[in-house]
Copies of this chain bind each other. A is one copy, B any other.
Amino acid sequence: MSDEFARLKQTLGTIHDLERVASLLAWDQEAMMPPQGAEGRADQRATLVRFAHELLVSDELRRLLEELRSFEESQPYESDEASLIRVVRRDNEKARRVPAELRAALSRAGSLGLGAWLDARARRDFRVLLPHLEEQLELKRRYVECFEPADDPYDVLLDDFEPGLTTAEAESVLEALKEELVPLVAAVPELDPREDLARSGPFDLDALRRFSLGLLRELGFEPDAWRLDRAEHPFAMAASLGDIRITTHFHEGHLGGLFACLHEFGHGLYERQVSPALERTPLATGASSALHESQSRMWENLVGRSRAFWVHAYPALQGTFPERLGRGGLEAFYRSINRIQPSLIRVDADEVTYNLHIIVRFELEREVLAGRLGLADLPAAFDERVQAYLGLDVPDVRDGVLQDMHWADLTFGYFPTYSLGNVISVQIWERARADLADLDRAMERGEFGDLRDWLREHLHRHGRKFTPRETLERAAGGQIDPAPYVRYLKDKLETTFGVAVA
Q: Residues of A with Cβ closer than 8 Å to B? A: 13-14, 17-18, 20-21, 24-25, 28, 32-41, 43-44, 46-48, 51, 222-227, 239-244, 279-280
Chain A interface secondary structure, helix, strand, loop or mixed? helix
Cβ contact within 8 Å between A225 and B280: no
Partner of A44, one of B20, B241, B244: B20
Cβ contact within 8 Å between B21 and A25: yes
Partner of A240, one of B39, B51, B227, B240: B39
Cβ contact within 8 Å between B34 and A223: yes
Cβ contact within 8 Å between A240 and B40: yes
Cβ contact within 8 Å between B17 and A47: yes
Least Cβ distance of A7 to chain B in Å?
15
Interface centre among A17, A225, A280 (most CB of B within 10 A): A17
How many angstroms from the CA of A14 to the CA of B46 in the assembled complex? 9
Closest partner residue, chain B, to A44 (CB atom): B17
List, sorted by A's number, 20 A–B pairs whose CB atoms are closer than 8 Å. Answer: A14-B47, A17-B46, A17-B48, A21-B44, A24-B25, A24-B28, A33-B239, A34-B224, A34-B243, A34-B244, A35-B224, A36-B242, A37-B242, A40-B240, A40-B241, A40-B243, A40-B279, A41-B240, A44-B240, A51-B51
Contact A224 to B36, CB < 8 A, known contacts A21-B21, A21-B48, A41-B243 = yes
Closest partner residue, chain B, to A46 (CB atom): B17
Closest partner residue, chain B, to A276 (CB atom): B39
How many angstroms from the CA of A40 to the CA of B16 in the assembled complex? 10
Given contacts A13-B43, A40-B241, 4 further A-B contacts (CB under 8 A): A21-B25, A21-B47, A24-B28, A34-B226
Within 8 Å CB of A47, what residues of B?
13-14, 17-18, 21
How many angstroms from the CA of A41 to the CA of B25 in the assembled complex? 13
Closest partner residue, chain B, to A51 (CB atom): B51
